[in-house]
Amino acid sequence: MDAHNAGRTARSLELLHSLSYFVPEVEERLVETGLEPGRMTYFAGRSAPMGAVGAGVVTATFFNFSPAAVASIIPRAWSLATPAAIVEARYRAVGEAYVRLLGESVTTSPEMAEAAELASIAARGVPGVEGRPLCAGYTEVEWPDSPHLAFWHALTVLREYRGDGHIAALQTAGLSGLESLITHTATGYGFQKKFAITRRAWTQEQWDSACDSLRDREILDARGELTAEGKELRQLVEDLTDDLALAPWAALGEDGAARLVELATPWRDAIVEAGVFPAGVFGPKVAVSR
User: How far is the C-alpha of 245 from the C-alpha of 11, rounded, in Å?
Assistant: 12
Average confidence score pLDDT of the chain: 95
CA distances from 27 to 89, 227, 277, 278 (A): 10, 40, 15, 15
Q: How many CA atoms lie within 13 A of 268 on its CB side?
A: 21
Portion of the chain with pLDDT greater than 70, in percent: 97
User: How far is the C-alpha of 114 from the C-alpha of 116, rounded, in Å?
Assistant: 5
Contact 138, 156 (CB under 8 A): yes
Confidence of residue 281 (pLDDT cuts 50, 70, 90): confident
Confidence of residue 192 (pLDDT cuts 50, 70, 90): confident
Q: What number is the average pLDDT over the span 46-67?
A: 97
| List of residues 6+ apart from 56 with CB closer than 8 A | none
The whole-number pLDDT of residue 286 equals 59
Q: What number is the average pLDDT over the span 67-85?
A: 98
Confidence of residue 19 (pLDDT cuts 50, 70, 90): very high
CB neighbours (10 Å) of residue 91? 21
The whole-number pLDDT of residue 289 equals 42
Confidence of residue 287 (pLDDT cuts 50, 70, 90): very low
User: How far is the C-alpha of 79 from the C-alpha of 276, rounded, in Å?
Assistant: 30
Q: What number is the average pLDDT over the span 111-115?
A: 98
Q: What number is the average pLDDT over the span 41-54?
A: 98
User: How far is the C-alpha of 150 from the C-alpha of 122, rounded, in Å?
Assistant: 12
User: How far is the C-alpha of 55 from the C-alpha of 68, rounded, in Å?
Assistant: 9
User: How far is the C-alpha of 243 from the C-alpha of 175, rounded, in Å?
Assistant: 19
Say if residue 127 is preceded by a cis peptide, omega within 30 of 0: no
Q: What number is the average pLDDT over the span 87-108?
A: 98
pLDDT > 80? residue 172: yes
The whole-number pLDDT of residue 290 equals 40
Confidence of residue 283 (pLDDT cuts 50, 70, 90): low
What is the tens place of the pLDDT at every residue in 204-255? 999 999 999 999 999 999 999 999 999 999 999 999 999 999 999 999 999 9
Listing DSSP states for 130-171 in one string gives: TT-HHHHHHHTSPPPSSHHHHHHHHHHHHHHHHHHHHHHHHH
The domain spans of the chain are: 3-274
Q: What number is the average pLDDT over the span 147-164?
A: 98
pLDDT > 60? residue 102: yes
